[in-house]
Amino acid sequence: MDGNFSLKEFQELVDDVLIRHKSILDILSKVQESSARVNRSVAKASTNCGCIKIHAEKPDIPDDVTFSKLKSYMSNHVEGDLCHTCEEKIKQEISNNLFYLFALCNNFEFDVEEMTEEYYKQLKLLGKYGLL
Ligand SMILES: [Zn+2]
């Protein structure tokens, strides 16, 4: 891939290749289905492959912690590293999910580059306070 790849190119390609699931109902259900497949691929890395372990527990956060120090008490609950196969599977599922999110944007003629640039500016301005 050359360094000139852009979100706009991807958005245009999604529009070119999406023929069968053009209905907004198909797109919405494919967004949801592909999102579930992302979750399943991560779960399978733990439960089927075993390259990672997911060890979730309530964080032990002192009552007087400041918001700026809170991040240091948080964990992603993942132990180990993804093997190559699981990493590729998860990336493929995320890409498929992005495909349908871009298709949703195309349906309403939203410019993804404009959207992400606006969101980027919002995050830069508001930082962690800007998250929904
Ligand atoms: Zn694995």
Q: Which CATH number belongs to the domain containing residue 73 in this structure?
A: 1.10.287.1080
Question: Residue 66 belongs to what domain range?
Answer: 7-130
Express each pLDDT in 59-91 by its tens digit: 888 888 887 788 888 889 999 999 999 999 999
How far, in Å, from the CA of 45 to the mean position of ligand 1?
Answer: 5
Q: Under a CB-based contact definition with an 8 Å cutoff, are residues 27 and 36 in contact?
A: no
* Partners of residue 111 on adjacent β-strands: none
Instruction: pLDDT band for 104, please (50, 70, 90 cuts).
Output: very high
pLDDT for 22 equals 83
How far, in Å, from the CA of 107 to the mean position of ligand 1?
Answer: 36
What's the pTM value of the predicted model, to 2 decimals?
A: 0.87
Return the percentage of the chain with pLDDT > 90, whole number: 70
Instruction: Answer with the residue of higher pLDDT: 59 or 114.
Output: 114
Residue 2 lies in a domain: no
Residue 70 lies in a domain: yes
* Segment holding 80, helix H or strand E: strand 78-80
- The mean pLDDT of 1-16, rounded to a whole number, is 87
How far, in Å, from the CA of 60 to the mean position of ligand 1?
Answer: 29
Q: Under a CB-based contact definition with an 8 Å cutoff, are residues 81 and 51 in contact?
A: yes
pLDDT for 108 equals 96
Residue 39 in this model has a pLDDT that exceeds 90? yes
How far, in Å, from the CA of 50 to the mean position of ligand 1?
Answer: 6
Residue 1 lies in a domain: no
Instruction: pLDDT band for 1, please (50, 70, 90 cuts).
Output: low
* Long-range contacts formed by 122-130: CB under 8 A, 24+ apart: 128/67
